């Protein structure tokens, strides 16, 4: 069984969509939320988290957006949950995301796409260490 890091981004919190998004995760049979916290992210955390994008044109606006308000950080556990939450979220660009996916239903622009979910087992391990260092 896998663990993934999910962040409900500041737009999701501002638009009061966290209940709706968490509900979709909870409705998926066999997945469990094992940690959850509303928090503001500092620059160091964001630099670690989005380090792979440093130097890209969207990096600075992305970090500014991600620190524009609190996020909900959570750990979700379950069978193939890494792939599963990515599918629930839909593609990065909300315009390309199908209706029925979180980004397809609620997304507006590519930067403000509501949710982050680890994209591989390797990323999940790396990101969980950043956000929930206390978890084995």
Question: Residues interacting with ligand GTP, by CB under 6 A?
Answer: 53, 58, 62, 92, 110-111, 113, 116-117, 119
Q: Which is nearer to ligand GTP, 32 or 91 (CB)?
A: 91
The verdict on whether 116 is a catalytic residue reads yes
Residue 65 is labelled as binding a ligand = no
As to burial, measured by CB atoms within 10 angstroms (0-12 exposed, 13-18 middle, 19+ buried), residue 56 is: exposed
Residue 58 is labelled as binding a ligand = yes
Q: Which is nearer to ligand GTP, 31 or 127 (CB)?
A: 127
Q: Which of 5, 75, 116, 117 is the catalytic position?
A: 116
Q: What's the start-to-end Cα distance of the chain, in Å?
A: 14
Of 104, 133, 128, 106, the closest CA to residue 117 belongs to 128
What's the rounded Cα separation, in Å, for the pair 17 and 112? 13
Residue 103 is labelled as binding a ligand = yes
> Which positions make up the binding site for ATP?
9, 58, 86, 92, 103, 113
């Amino acid at each position: 069984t896998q663990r993934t890091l999910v962040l409900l981004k500041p737009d999701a919190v501002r638009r009061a969509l966290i209940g709706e998004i968490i509900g979709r995760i909870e409705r998926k049979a066999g997945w469990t939320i094992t940690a959850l916290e509303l928090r503001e992210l500092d620059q160091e955390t964001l630099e670690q988290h989005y380090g792979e994008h440093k130097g890209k044109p969207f990096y600075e606006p992305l970090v500014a957006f991600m620190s524009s308000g609190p996020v909900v950080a959570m750990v979700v556990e379950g069978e193939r949950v890494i792939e599963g939450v990515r599918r629930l979220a839909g593609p990065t660009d909300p315009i390309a995301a199908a209706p029925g996916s979180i980004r397809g239903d609620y997304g507006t622009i590519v930067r403000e796409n509501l949710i982050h979910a680890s994209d591989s087992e390797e990323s999940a391990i790396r990101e969980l260490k950043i956000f929930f260092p206390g978890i084995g």
